[in-house]
Amino acid sequence: MSEIEIEVVLVEPKYDGNIGAVARVMKNFGFKSLTLVSPCEIGDFGRAMASHARDILENARIISSIDEIEADILVGTTSISGRDDADHLRYPCLTPEELIRGLKGVKGRVAILFGREDFGLFNEELRKCHILVKILTNPEYPTLNLSHAVAIVLYEMSKMRGRGERKVTRKENIERLMRHLDELFEELSYPKYKKDKTLMIVYRIIGRASLTTREYMTLMGIIRRIRRRLKSLKEEGS
Amino acid sequence: MSEIEIEVVLVEPKYDGNIGAVARVMKNFGFKSLTLVSPCEIGDFGRAMASHARDILENARIISSIDEIEADILVGTTSISGRDDADHLRYPCLTPEELIRGLKGVKGRVAILFGREDFGLFNEELRKCHILVKILTNPEYPTLNLSHAVAIVLYEMSKMRGRGERKVTRKENIERLMRHLDELFEELSYPKYKKDKTLMIVYRIIGRASLTTREYMTLMGIIRRIRRRLKSLKEEGS
């Protein structure tokens, strides 16, 4: 677990469905702390959208101004970025990836502010933020649904945590597999130039797939079985 | 713009609000092609959730089975990943980042399948997918809202835009390759249960690698050469 504490802040959200959906995605990515600034009332629909994350809704802290946020770093999100230095209020905007790169190793409390569904964060709110973030979208229709914006930022933040589920097989194993394949190709009397080219092509395919140990063993099993069969047929023939 | 064409496929979605939200986030990230497999009816709420992306809803293609999908690569999404090699159907699952790394440079049509809100994709549907993807979530509450899952995958895919150079081989070719491999395994007297499992594992490796036409032909050449040799040795023997 990272030592960074993340707080999600929704500023004057208007639809309880969005608040519920935000609570759900927070729980999906293992975040707990939700702060609501002057939110709409949360009814049955909002609770339904929260699904198994009602505890996050119920424990949400309700405040009336962003000045009450207790965090060391305020990150503001916006769907409009400044085009250049002339717009010092909105420039530069980081991408979510750049944000996590910047926060890597930070120890402390970070609040990420998401604005109103229609007007986003006001300029005086953006002015108080230490970092601005914008998700790169299609200029034809840049405004993400509120809970989608939260989902994407939290998804990126969750990458800061430890990763790696898929254990790939070791380099030595791949080399061993290639040797066996080379021997099989010899037995199939591939002409040398063709054999090398074919091996290279297979090597690339296997490389791109980044094999698991199981998959490596399966491929070895297939090659072994072919070679054994060739051998026994040859012996029968002689 | 990339030459990879992405098609979002929702399999039996139950809530029109989710379908609308998916249409919106598709437009946010500049994707257009939506396919719905036996969807619920889309009412006012669904259209409201689509907001400025009603055109995507209206142009959605409606089909009744995933077999009607016209794409070369099928990517299945799941919230449950195989824990280890023992679960060959769901293992390995790529992260969305690994997916885009694998698809980088690909030229061709890719369908990304998202399952039902409650049951996800069925096993027989997952079996037809060339690549499996899972968004890493909190094991306490792993299931993302449908439109959140789409938002995150499309957000990652949108990072990939660039020129496609690697033309992938067609789906029919992969099927042909698998049939030849099946016949080879028959000739090698694989026990049925083992043959099916082994074929599935090879299918996944090949799917992750997204073969070029040249690579497909090379693999076909290897299989043909092995079969020819087995046949001639057998004839010599008899």
CA–CA distance, B33 with B153 (Å, rounded to integer): 15
Stretch A100-110: mean pLDDT: 81
Question: In this complex, which of B198, B211, B230 lies closest to A229 when CB atoms are compared?
Answer: B230
Q: Decide which of B218 and A169 is more confident.
A: B218
Question: In this complex, which of A21, A25, A188 lies closest to B229 when CB atoms are compared?
Answer: A188
The answer to whether the CB atoms of A145 and B53 lie below 8 A apart is no
The answer to whether the CB atoms of B91 and A52 lie below 8 A apart is no
The minimum CA-CA distance between B165 and chain A, rounded to whole Å, is 15
Among chain A residues, the shortest Cα distance to B15 is held by A49
CA–CA distance, A121 with B201 (Å, rounded to integer): 50
Closest-CA residue to A99 (of A122, A80, A76, A121) = A76
CB atoms within 10 A of CB A189: 9
pTM exceeds cut of 0.95? no
Among chain B residues, the shortest Cα distance to A237 is held by B237
The answer to whether the CB atoms of B148 and A225 lie below 8 A apart is no
The answer to whether the CB atoms of A202 and B219 lie below 8 A apart is yes
Least confident of A27-36, A140-149, B39-48, B98-107: B98-107
The answer to whether the CB atoms of A188 and B226 lie below 8 A apart is yes
Buried b (16+ CB within 10 A) or exposed e, B140-169: ebbbbbbbbbbbbbbbbbbebeeebebebb
Strand order in the sheet with A61-63: A61-63, A33-37, A4-11, A108-114, A73-77, A131-133
Q: Is the peptide bond before A92 cis (omega within 30 degrees of 0)?
A: yes
CA–CA distance, B21 with A236 (Å, rounded to integer): 66
Question: In this complex, which of A210, A218, A230 lies closest to B201 when CB atoms are compared?
Answer: A218
Stretch A53-65: mean pLDDT: 97
Q: What is the pLDDT of residue A84?
A: 56
Q: Decide which of A41 and A238 is more confident.
A: A41
Which residue in A205, A211, A223, A231 has the most chain B C-beta atoms within 10 A of its own C-beta, making it the best mutation to test that interface? A205
Residue A113 has pLDDT above 70, yes or no: yes
User: B167-179: per-residue pLDDT in tens?
Assistant: 778 888 999 999 9
User: B100-157: per-residue pLDDT in tens?
Assistant: 988 887 888 999 999 999 999 999 999 999 999 999 999 999 999 999 999 999 999 9
The answer to whether the CB atoms of B158 and A136 lie below 8 A apart is yes
On chain A, the residues whose CB falls within 8 A of the CB of B218 are: 198, 201-202
Stretch B174-185: mean pLDDT: 95
Q: Which B residues in the span 157-216 are in contact with A, Cβ-Cβ below 8 Å?
A: 158, 187-188, 190, 198, 201-202, 204-206, 208-211, 214-215
The minimum CA-CA distance between A195 and chain B, rounded to whole Å, is 10
User: B76-98: per-residue pLDDT in tens?
Assistant: 999 876 655 556 677 678 899 99
On chain B, the residues whose CB falls within 8 A of the CB of A162 are: none
Fold (topology level) of B4-167 = Alpha/beta knot (3.40.1280)
Stretch A90-112: mean pLDDT: 83
CA–CA distance, A163 with A6 (Å, rounded to integer): 18
User: A118-151: per-residue pLDDT in tens?
Assistant: 999 999 999 888 888 999 999 899 999 999 999 9
Q: Tell me, yes or no, if B111 comes closer than 8 A to chain A by beta carbon.
A: no
The answer to whether the CB atoms of B188 and A24 lie below 8 A apart is no
Is B88:B126 a contact under the CB 8 Å cutoff?
A: no
The minimum CA-CA distance between B138 and chain A, rounded to whole Å, is 5
On chain B, the residues whose CB falls within 8 A of the CB of A46 are: none
C-alpha A157: how far from its chain's center? 8
In order, the DSSP letters of A159-178 are TTS-----PBPPHHHHHHHH
**Cβ pairs bridging A and B (under 8 Å):** 167
Spans of all domains in chain A:
4-158, 171-237
Fold (topology level) of A4-158 = Alpha/beta knot (3.40.1280)
C-alpha A154: how far from its chain's center? 8
On chain A, the residues whose CB falls within 8 A of the CB of B147 are: 145, 148
- HEC letters along chain B: CCCEEEEEEEECCCCHHHHHHHHHHHHHCCCCEEEEECCCCCCHHHHHHHHHHHHHHHCCEEECCHHHCCCCEEEEECCCCCCCCCCCCCCCCECHHHHHHHHCCEEEEEEEEECECCCECCHHHHHCCCEEECCCCCCCCCCCCHHHHHHHHHHHHHCCCCCCCEEECCHHHHHHHHHHHHHHHHHCCCCHHHHHHHHHHHHHHHHHHCCEHHHHHHHHHHHHHHHHHHHHHHHHHC
* Residue type at A21 in one-letter notation: A
Q: What is the pLDDT of residue A1?
A: 42
Look over chain B and give the mean of its residue pLDDT values, rounded to a whole number.
90
The answer to whether the CB atoms of A155 and B158 lie below 8 A apart is no
What is the ipTM score, two decimals?
0.80
